Structures are given as structure tokens and as C-alpha cells.
């Protein structure tokens, strides 16, 4: 692990992401820091990190393209996360022969925007549309599967319910998807009390994985926000009302949920998703916590095998 990663320098150095764009030298430091350098495992891999302008934001975006990719996985990260934390997902996708496209959402990672904040969850839909447009521009192999962790999962199923999914869309994979967070009623009350006086409150880090090394890494990650903005909580409250009133869809997403998840109200959320979708394919993982993308190896292997079977 190196300690010379400078986020602000890399943000400024990012070129517009194109098929012919050239990574800044700092991109390799970023990959090594987050252990997402796959050059040795996949010698012919085309890996590019760049920037895309979306809805007034400068979004960091990366593409990983094997020479003969069979499909593409578009990875949507969770709240407080960023692209650098999804190495296990990338590794699984690349081993399946898939290309990978991902980005840092506004206010996260290497992207611009008020840290960990958003004006409206509709801006996340604009970001997803930009990812789909970039997949088309880069001619990434079809079908395009969506894979979202937590808030990323919320963005993915919001797209299924309320947008007109592109014809290239394949499966939609939801890891511990957010509908409501745990103890939502109490959180809403606290939000109403705090909102007139504070723009943010200090973030409380949780043990959201059984992988102790990951939990410790996140606490020291230079790209982690240290606050919870009230604006984001307000946007979430509006979105929950919106999504729980959405009309059902005939699609059948693939859902993986841990039964020791203390971040989202997973029982309520699975009930909502069962109502909104036609026979979603659900794997309930015993003892798994919230951050499934970075759970213990044995748990990851279990659900990655499930996903492989569903996509075969």
C-alpha cells in the first residue's frame, strides 16, 4: 500500500474519457492505492480513467475492456463509496469476460460536487443516463448489465421503474439495495430537528462488513467524506416517497441481501421490491452485513457464484 496518493492533483489531471484518451500518470498511483490494477491478471486489458461533464458536475469515470469482452457491467457504487472500493466486483466481472464501466457519483471520490451531497436523486438518473451514453460512445459490448450496491442499487431499480430502459440493457443486479435506511422514522425526525440549524452532522462510521481490514481501510481512506449533509437526507426523503408510489414493472432484478445488514431496513425493502417487480431472484446471505461488495471472501464467493449462474 502506498501513501503518495493525492486526490486533488488527480482530479485536476483527468482528461475527457474517450477511447483514445491517455491516463495521467497519477491514475496508476490511484489504481495501486485501491488495489484495482489488473494489468498482471489480464495483460491485454484496456484500462482508462477520465472525466465526463454531467449536469454541471465533472464526474470521474473509468472503463476496463478485455480484448474480446462478451458483455458489459455498469457498476453503481453506494453512498460514501467510490470506484476505488469495487475491486472484487471488477475482478469477478473481468473473469466472466465482461467489460466494466463505472464512475464516482457527484460529491464522491474524484468527482466534483459538495461532499456526499446531492440536490435531488433525479441527478443520479442523469448520471446513469450519461454512463449508458458513454457505453454507446465507447462501443462497449452488449448486453449492458447494471450492478448497484445500496444507493447504487436504488439508482438502478429507479431506472427500471421510472425510465424507459435501453434495448441494450441486460440483467440488473442489486446488492443490499436501498429503499429505506434502518430506523428511518427516527432519522426523519432527527433531520427535521437539525435541518434549520445545521447543513451537516458528523458522519458515524459503521462496521458494515465482516471484513475487518476493509472496515479499517475505509476509516482512513482519503476519499471518504466525514460528514452527513442534511441536503442528502432531504433528497432521500423525497425519493422514498416517490419510489414507493412508483408503478410496478414486469422486470425481474437479481437481488443479494445479507440478513445481518444494520444499514438498510432490508425486510421492508425486500417487501417493496417484491411488490414492484415480477418474481425478483433473491439470494439471502446468512450473517452478511451491508457492504456486500467488500464482505468476507467466503460470502463474496457465494453470491458471485449465484450471479454467475444467473447470467449464464
Say how many domains are in the chain.
Answer: 1
Calculate what percentage of the chain has a pLDDT beyond 90: 92
Residue 303 lies in a domain: yes
User: For 24-49, what is the mean pLDDT?
Assistant: 95
Residue 295 lies in a domain: yes
Q: Could you count the other beta carbons within 10 Å of the beta carbon of residue 258?
A: 27
Of 242, 293, 302, nearest to 272 by C-alpha is 242
pLDDT of residue 4: 64
CB 11 within 8 A of CB 49: no
pLDDT of residue 188: 75
Q: Which domain holds residue 229?
A: 7-311
pLDDT of residue 88: 98
The answer to pTM > 0.85 is yes
Residue 18 lies in a domain: yes
pLDDT of residue 200: 92
pLDDT of residue 102: 98
Residue 2 lies in a domain: no
What average pLDDT does the structure give for the chain? 95
Residue 280 lies in a domain: yes
Residue 127 lies in a domain: yes
Over residues 117-171, the pLDDT tens digits come to 999 999 999 999 999 999 999 999 999 999 999 999 999 999 999 999 999 999 9
Over residues 168-198, the pLDDT tens digits come to 999 999 999 999 999 888 777 776 777 788 8
User: For 247-258, what is the mean pLDDT?
Assistant: 98
User: For 204-233, what is the mean pLDDT?
Assistant: 96
Confidence check: pLDDT of 243 > 90? yes
**CATH code of the domain containing 65:** 3.40.50.1820
Residue 191 lies in a domain: yes
pLDDT of residue 193: 77
pLDDT of residue 227: 95
Residue 1 lies in a domain: no
User: For 243-257, what is the mean pLDDT?
Assistant: 97
Amino acid at each position: 500500500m502506498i501513501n503518495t496518493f493525492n486526490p486533488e492533483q488527480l482530479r485536476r489531471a483527468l482528461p475527457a474519457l474517450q477511447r483514445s484518451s491517455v491516463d495521467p500518470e497519477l491514475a496508476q498511483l490511484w489504481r495501486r492505492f485501491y488495489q484495482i490494477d489488473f494489468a498482471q491478471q489480464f495483460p491485454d486489458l484496456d484500462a482508462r480513467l477520465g472525466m465526463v461533464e454531467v449536469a454541471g458536475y465533472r464526474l470521474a469515470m473509468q472503463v476496463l475492456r478485455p480484448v474480446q469482452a462478451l458483455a458489459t457491467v455498469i457498476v453503481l457504487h453506494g453512498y460514501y463509496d467510490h470506484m476505488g472500493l469495487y475491486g472484487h466486483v471488477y475482478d469477478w466481472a473481468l473473469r466472466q469476460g465482461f467489460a466494466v464501466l463505472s464512475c464516482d457519483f457527484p460529491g464522491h471520490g474524484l468527482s466534483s460536487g459538495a461532499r456526499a451531497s446531492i440536490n435531488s436523486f433525479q441527478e443520479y438518473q442523469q448520471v446513469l443516463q450519461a454512463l449508458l451514453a458513454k457505453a454507446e460512445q465507447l462501443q462497449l459490448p452488449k448486453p449492458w448489465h447494471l450492478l448497484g450496491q445500496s444507493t447504487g442499487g436504488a439508482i438502478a431499480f429507479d431506472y427500471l421503474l421510472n425510465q424507459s430502459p435501453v434495448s441494450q440493457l441486460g440483467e440488473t443486479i442489486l446488492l443490499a439495495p436501498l429503499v429505506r435506511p434502518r430506523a428511518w422514522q427516527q432519522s426523519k425526525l432527527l433531520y427535521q430537528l437539525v435541518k434549520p440549524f445545521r447543513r451537516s452532522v458528523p458522519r458515524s462510521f459503521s462496521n458494515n462488513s465482516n471484513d475487518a481490514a476493509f472496515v479499517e481501510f475505509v476509516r482512513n481512506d482519503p476519499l471518504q467524506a466525514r460528514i452527513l449533509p442534511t441536503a442528502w437526507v432531504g433528497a432521500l426523503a423525497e425519493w422514498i416517497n416517490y419510489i414507493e408510489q412508483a408503478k410496478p414493472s414486469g422486470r425481474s432484478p437479481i437481488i443479494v441481501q445479507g440478513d445481518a445488514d444494520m444499514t438498510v431496513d432490508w425486510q421492508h425493502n425486500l417487501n417493496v421490491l417484491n411488490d414492484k417487480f415480477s418474481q425478483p431472484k433473491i439470494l439471502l446471505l446468512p450473517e452478511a452485513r451491508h457492504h456486500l461488495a467488500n464482505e468476507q471472501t467466503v460470502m463474496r464467493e457465494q453470491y458471485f457464484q449465484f450471479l454467475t449462474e444467473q447470467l449464464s
